[in-house]
Amino acid sequence: MGEPDAKLDNERRAFIKKVLNGTIAGSLLLVIPMPMGAATPEVPEQIPGIRGKKWDMFNQRFAFIVDITRCIGCGSCCVADRREFNVPEGYYRTWVERYLKDFNDQVYVDSPNGGFDGYQSPRTDIDVEVRDTFFVPKLCNMCKEPPCVQVCPVGATFKTPDGFILVDRERCVGCAYCIQACPYSSRYLDPVTRTAEKCTWCYHRVRKGLLPICVNVCPTSARKFGDLNDKNSEVYKLLHEHEVLTVLKKDMGTYPALYYKGLRREVV
């Protein structure tokens, strides 16, 4: 009497085993993340020749070019920059200025909220006939002779051998000498940590082969960034062609690595 029942039991057991195995395998596939979605997803390299080899600290040359003839003042760069670094409100690592020139050669500059909200309306506070108007994005100039580094009393801000000027948040005492020394006003004192902060040209992104975030989001490619050691890069070509590229406050002898294309002489 027990014979057929035992057989049935065995079959049932095997069936349940199969179902359970299938369920577990299926749910594991859903739970375990896909390999492409690991901590650093497989995103295409934006600056060629950085990934897959050791970072050569002493042989890097980067340049940043801002083409102000292409800037439309949308403020994408400002928005992305604030999100990338969680910059507190009222402080700017990068910002966009609006220049306006009238027929008496008077220059008016404004930058409501650093261009973060974009420029939705023309200037209403002045009543002049506009002769010329344009946007100028500003950021750290990454000087070859940085005044901010020279004045730091504790060695908290420094120029790396690969040409970036960075801030060591652990060493900074928040004396704000560097903020006064910077001729381009690109530094601020973080209200929370009380240490100096500045644009780093997205050093953390560049080291991983990605473009700085403001360059990445710029819809008109007014901002260009690239490796000067790479002869095929856009910045190399621009710097070696017959383009008029200027730097801000040349007479201060800071030798910026940030160049402007189509810059008017009114811009300071």
Q: What is the binding site for another protein (CB under 8 A)? A: 33-34, 36-41, 43-44, 46, 57, 69-70, 72-76, 79-80, 83-85, 98-99, 118-122, 130, 133-135, 155-161, 166-171, 200, 203-205, 207-208, 210, 213, 216-217, 219-221
Helix or strand run (H / E) with residue 110:
strand 107-110
Tell the smallest beta-carbon distance from residue 211 to another protein (Å): 8
Round to whole Å and give the CA distance between 5 and 136: 86
Question: What does DSSP assign to residue 10?
Answer: H
β-pairing, 157-159 vs 165-167, is antiparallel
Q: Which among 56, 91, 82 is positioned nearest to 196, based on CA atoms?
A: 91
Q: Are 226 and 234 in contact (CB under 8 A)?
A: yes
Shortest distance in whole angstroms from residue 6 CB to another protein = 46
DSSP for 159-203, please give it: E-TTS-EEE-TTT-----HHHHH-TT--EEE-TTT-SEEE--SSH
Q: Which is nearer to another protein, 136 or 179 (CB)?
A: 136
Nearest-approach distance from CB 259 to another protein, in angstroms: 19
Choice between 22 and 155, CB closer to another protein: 155
Beta partners for residue 58, in sequence order: none
Residue 46 contacts residue 211 (beta carbons within 8 Å)? yes
Please report how close the Cβ of residue 160 comes to another protein at its closest, in angstroms.
5
Q: Which is nearer to another protein, 13 or 169 (CB)?
A: 169
User: Measured from the CB of residue 223, what is the shortest distance to another protein in angstroms?
Assistant: 12
State which residue, 134 or 259, has the beta carbon closest to another protein: 134
Nearer to another protein, 2 or 44 (CB): 44
Q: Are 142 and 256 in contact (CB under 8 A)?
A: yes
Shortest reach from residue 253's CB to another protein, in Å: 20
Residue number, 171 or 240, with CB nearest to another protein: 171
- For the bound state, the minimum distance from the C-beta of residue 23 to another protein, rounded and expressed in Å, comes to 21
- Distance between CA atoms of 125 and 142, rounded to whole angstroms? 34
Buried b (16+ CB within 10 A) or exposed e, 9-21: eeeeeeeeeeeee
Residue closer to another protein, measured from CB, 15 or 103: 103
